[in-house]
Structure 1
Amino acid sequence: MEKMEHTILEEQKGDRIDKVISGLNEEWSRTQVQDWIKEGNVLVNGKNVKTNYKCSVSDFIVITIPEPEELDVVPEEMDLDIYYEDKDVLVVNKPKGMVVHPAPGHLTGTLVNGLMAHCKDLSGINGVLRPGIVHRIDKDTSGLLMVAKNDLAHESLVNQLVEKSVTRKYKAIVHGVIPHEYGTIDAPLGRDPKDRQSMTVVDNGKHAVTHFRVLERFNEFTFVECQLETGRTHQIRVHMKYIGYPLAGDPKYGPRKTLDLNGQALHAGLLGFIHPRTNEYLEFEAPLPEDFEELLDRLRNNR
């Protein structure tokens, strides 16, 4: 089993242990870390602690990262839209409506099921239900994802995400007419205390930064490009709502009266990263889906 060590810094004094550990790796969820703590895989100064343990300066933490479980996800033949593939990485254009990885009670029809049928060699770092998955996009968001085919590639791509060197640009349609051309939203994100299934801006949340620029304005909507500096859950959806311009069609964060799009108008159109083996910068761009283009045409015709 892989081990990771960390010494608590001055700025982490008083923080919960589960928050500190989940902040060490963008791919570790707080729930996952809490399970590790309960299972005895986290020691603070050589002792087991509870998930709500408050850290002190110079606390020495040892995290034992559990080995990936045996895969119990069935490969399924799918017509995947592969943009790039070699022995280390794969870039796929995910359609709207497809879930990226299985979850308990939802083990079929996901991108991971299709990837497992397409290629047998996916990294095992994320364990049983998410082989090869380095980052995610929501079910109703379309667009490009990078997938690791071995652990070397996985570690490299995750490190690039942590270092914020991956280029991720999204196209979105938002409610309201944004008056300025550019903007940056720097607001920390965390679970909504009133609704644990939703994210919101909270003082003690994870650092989150989204840059945006206006591409086109309509009567009641704006077409924007958003660039992620960090990659938090639902980041663009929550950030745009926070500044008063929620995504069109968003059932969770949009207004009740919104466009009927079967989900938010959001497309991960551009993805760039450094190849884990060759160190060459690769960049890919996927056009807007047909229904997204049709919506833009309708908005243009209504001006």
Structure 2
Amino acid sequence: MPDRRFYPVPDGLVGDRVDSVVARLTGLSRSACAKLVDSGEVLVDGVPTSKSERLIEGQVIEVVVPDPVVVRPKPTLVDLPVLFEDDDVVVINKPAGLAAHPSLNFEGPDVLGALMAQGVQLASSGPPERQGIVHRLDVGTSGCMVVAKSEWAYSVLKQAFRDRTVKKIYHALVQGHPDPIAGTIDAPTGRDHRHQWKMGIRADGRRSITHYETIEAMAGGSLMEVHLETGRTHQIRVHMSGIGHPCVGDEMYGADPTLSAKVGLDRQWLHAVSLGFLHPGTGEWVEFSSDYPPELTRCLELMREGVYR
């Protein structure tokens, strides 16, 4: 039987396009939702509609949701430095350009495929496309990341991330100079209504808390140390942009493209410098660190030299 779902139009989505609202409600991509509308699988108050129709208060959307497509990792040879490995976990220094796991919306290499190519056996827990993954870094973010190898490690680490007992420290080079130079950003984040691949600060979003401190101020920018109390998608990028100081190179969230070109950066300047947790096998606290990759070091040096003056 088809998965037929009914959704009253939420107050916050009144006036938005049908395809955009269906994407928001179902979690499917907007292009997939547009195809559902075109094929007659989306009804508004029982009547076929067009993807550009604007919804009004009180309407009910009926959607026939297709079976999910499972994207499985494929072994891919990628330079993926391993910081630590034993029978329970593997800790990597993820380079930018590598997704945590395969997805329908990203065609590049991923961590799971790279580890498979290196012969690393991972936990089978979790959805098929992300087995062993207990946390993620954005495609354009580099640094420390842990993946579970044993089922026990997967269970323990997932709970540790839920309980917020994992210590995650990031460094971010942002435009401008945050005032105050240290503080906490407590602002809920959620999916952007208009762009499904983006996040934003939203009153109806999930609670998101970021602590930051300025390490170094330079002409046009500041090097920040960032601690996450919560781990939402794009959280640091959204929060720093939200206070007017996007990560250098992060044009999706408002960074200056002229500066990106000057420093030769085609990704956000954001790096997971350290990761600490109670080892699921030994119960002892372990901590790992990662140096900046060359492109971030070069950008930082240029900013110190005053390229943004």
| Alignment-derived partner of residue 298 in structure 1 | 302
Whose radius of gyration is greater, 1 or 2?
A: 2
Q: Which amino acid aligns with 2:244?
A: G
Partner deviation per Cα, 1:116-163 (whole Å, 9 max, x = no partner): 122442122222211211111111111010000122111111111111
Secondary structure in 1 matching 2:114: helix
Higher helix share: 2
- Look up the match of 1:218: 218
Say if 2:95 is the partner of 1:91. Answer: no
Residue identity in the other structure for 1:289: P
- Residue 31 of structure 1 aligns to which amino acid in structure 2? G
User: Using the alignment, how far apart are the partners of 2:280 and 2:287 within structure 1?
Assistant: 14
For residues 251 and 177 of structure 1, do their structure 2 counterparts lie closer, same or farther at Cα, with a shift above 3 Å needed? same
Aligned counterparts of 1:182 and 1:190: Cα–Cα separation in 2: 24
Supply the distance in 2 between the matched residues of 1:267 and 1:139 (Cα, whole angstroms).
11
For 1:106 and 1:180, locate their aligned partners in 2 and report how far apart those are by CA, in whole Å.
Answer: 37
Q: Deviations over 1:56-94 (max 9, x none)?
A: xxxxxxxxxxxxx99843223333200010000010001
Is residue 266 of structure 2 the alignment partner of residue 262 of structure 1? yes
Q: Distance in 1 between matches of 2:245 and 2:136?
A: 23
Q: Give the TM-score, by structure 1 length.
A: 0.74
- Superposed CA offset, 1:192-241 (max 9, x none): 12222211111121111111000111121111011111110000000001
Offset of residue 251 of structure 1: 2.3
Report the equivalent of 1:232. 232
Identify if the C-alpha distance between structure 1 residues 119 and 149 changes in structure 2 by more than 3 Å, giving closer, same or farther.
farther
2:242 is aligned to: 242
The percent of aligned pairs where both chains have the same amino acid is: 38
Which sits farther off after the overlay, 226-235 or 96-105?
96-105
The 1:194–1:119 alpha-carbon spacing in structure 2 relative to 1, beyond 3 Å, is: same
Aligned-partner SS, 2:272: strand
How far apart, in 1, do the equivalents of 2:70 and 2:211 lie? 40
Moved over 6 A (4+): none
Letter in 2 for 1:224: M
For residue 92 of structure 2, give the secondary structure of its aligned residue in structure 1. strand
Counterpart-to-counterpart distance in 2, 1:79 and 1:150: 23
Please say if residues 199 and 233 of structure 1, whose CA atoms lie closer than 8 Å, have aligned partners that are also in contact: yes
> In the alignment, what sits opposite 1:10?
none
Q: How does 1:102-121 map to 2 (within 5 A)?
A: 102-104=102-104, 106=106, 109-121=109-121
Deviates more, 1:254-263 or 1:239-248: 254-263
Find the aligned partners of 1:298 and 1:252 in 2 and give their Cα distance: 22
1:105 to partner: Cα distance: 6.7
Give the TM-score normalised by the residue count of structure 2.
0.72
**Distance verdict in 2 for CA 1:290–1:255, change over 3 Å:** closer
Contact 2:182 2:214 in 1 (8 A): yes
Aligned residues: 243
| Local SS of the residue matching 1:197 | coil
Q: Secondary structure at the match of 2:213?
A: strand
Task: Give the match for residue 135 of structure 2.
Answer: 135
Match among 260, 273, 276 for residue 277 of structure 2: 273
Moved more, 236-245 or 192-201: 192-201
Range that drifts further, 120-129 or 205-214: 120-129
Quote the offset at 1:285 in angstroms.
0.7
Q: Is the 1:73–1:108 contact (alpha carbons within 8 Å) kept by the matching residues of 2?
A: no
Q: Structure 2: how far apart are the matches of 1:76 and 1:91?
A: 18
Matched AA of 1:169: I
